[in-house]
Amino acid sequence: MMSLAGKKIVLGVSGGIAAYKTPELVRRLRERGADVRVAMTEAAKAFITPLSLQAVSGYPVSDSLLDPAAEAAMGHIELGKWADLVILAPATADLIARVAAGMANDLVSTICLATPASVAVLPAMNQQMYRAAATQHNLGILASRGLLIWGPDSGSQACGDVGPGRMLDPLTIVDMAAEHFFACQRSATSQHHDYGGSDA
């Protein structure tokens, strides 16, 4: 089990039914040693309360792009700079479309533009929406820009459909985050050795 000790993760939560899994995701990330801050879209608050996520993360939840207190310190920019990894979970078709279009009309999409960190996208939607040409096109755009597409799972969905579109379970997401950092570390070590060898 790989540790996330010292890793800073921003969890961006959008308005999908899978948002109910996010308190467990935050708890699991923290169990591995990660420092987690949460940003929510307005729609996400219909599925999970900011207070619930504040309780498990240990930090106030950011849920507004125009929060005067946060923006006094350029909150959305600072969250983006602070993160080692941004995880969008659940990432609805709407959020995926807005990030693909480069929009910054809420806190979560703005963080995606303002961060130098890797961004992992966890699609979560009805199987028909996931299979839609527009969604597949948008996911392709994100992947071509270097964003990480994790999932989705296949199976029974809240609407009664069966197919792809379920968000990965929290433990799988935590494992993928740990593997991401391990791969980055290994790549950095390899490049360092290659550079050292070229000077010899």
Phi-psi region of 74 (alpha: psi -120 to 50; beta: other; left: phi over 0): left
What is the per-residue pLDDT across 81-134, written as a single tens digit (0 to 9) for each? 999 999 999 999 999 999 999 999 999 999 999 999 999 999 999 999 999 999
Residue given tokens 């985050």 in the structure block = 177
Give the pLDDT score at 101.
Answer: 98
pLDDT band at residue 34 using 50, 70 and 90 as cut-offs: very high
Q: What is the chain's mean pLDDT, rounded?
A: 89
Of 46, 74, 101, 159, catalytic: 159
Q: How far is CA 22 from CA 49, 70, 78, 147, in A?
A: 11, 23, 22, 20
Which one, of 12, 63, 3, lies nearest residue 30 by Cα?
Answer: 3
pLDDT at 106: 92
* Sign of the torsion angle spanned by Cα atoms 27, 36, 56, 42: negative
Domains annotated for the chain, with CATH where assigned, are 8-199 (3.40.50.1950)
Say yes or no to pLDDT of 143 above 50. yes
Dihedral of the CA atoms 99, 102, 106, 108 (nearest 10)? 40
Global pTM?
0.89
Residue 184 appears among annotated catalytic residues:
no
The tokens of 97 are what? 């479309």
Band (200; pLDDT cuts 50, 70, 90): very low
CA 12 to chain centre: 5
